[in-house]
Amino acid sequence: MSKVAVITGGASGIGQAAALRLAQEGVNIVVVDVDEESGNAAVEKIKEHGVDAIFIKADVSKKEDVKNYVDQTVEHFGTIDYFFNNAGISGSGGYFLDTEVEEIEKIVGINLLGALYGVRYVADVMVKNGGGAIVNTSSSAGVTGQDSVVTYSATKHALVGLTKSLVAEYAKDGLRVNAIAPGPTETKMVKEFYEANPKMKENATGGIPQKRLGTPEEVAELVTFLFTSNASYVNGEVIRIDGGFTNTK
């Protein structure tokens, strides 16, 4: 029977790249995103690989939306084998004391509460069904301190704690939970962030030993590995994929 993967933020960027790569492995896909038009377009691309795929619109900062995408997935596919807990936003790039409280609340709502809600409902399904694999999207800013992204960094550090603590509680129940920590990657979100903060792009690429940004497809390969049986004994890890960006930090 084909496996089923739920991917939040699956309409674009790393989420869509992972969806397409997993579809190549015969995995059925649930694309969860707030962008309905892009989400439906992603589903059509995914189906070209001969798998089943559906789109579910959700604002992950709302627990009702999260429970709904989990319930709809189980109703359609019967189970959830893989969960790519990936939806997130970066913020404006301003210094913390210049950041409006409303922006802080929005970033925390999507990046942290959205991730917590997702794991709460998805892991419940997985444990009841004998296990599953979760990959949380942290960041290079989740393993080092970085300026201009204090709230974002705080939420991404939190996902590292979420990853490790879930393993401590539920590995015995067949749950595998790992996190990825991508460096600057060529996604729409990163492009828009650097357009608004051009100096930060210069600083980032200058600090990457490979002297380029990563690609969503490169990150998707790592995600796919972590979801396959080849990674069956990899649990509680935070894997950096950043061209050496945080190697000396």
**Annotated catalytic residue within 82, 152, 170, 194:** 152
Q: By three-state DSSP, how is residue 137 classified?
A: strand
Distance CA 88, CA 186 (A): 15
Contacts of 105 (CB under 8 A, 6+ apart): none
The answer to whether residues 194 and 138 touch, using CB atoms and an 8 Å cutoff, is: no
Task: Confirm whether 152 is a catalytic residue.
Answer: yes
Distance CA 111, CA 40 (A): 23
Q: Which two tokens stand for residue 32?
A: 């969860």
Q: By three-state DSSP, how is residue 241 classified?
A: strand
Distance CA 34, CA 132 (A): 25
Q: By three-state DSSP, how is residue 135 classified?
A: strand
Torsion of CA 186, 191, 194, 195, to 10 degrees: 150
Concatenating the DSSP letter of every residue in 45-74 gives HHHTTT--EEEEE--TTSHHHHHHHHHHHH
- Adjacency order of strands within the sheet including 175-182: 53-57, 28-33, 4-8, 82-85, 132-137, 175-182, 238-241
Question: Closest Cα to residue 82, out of 55, 43, 116, 122?
Answer: 122
Supply the residues annotated as catalytic: 152
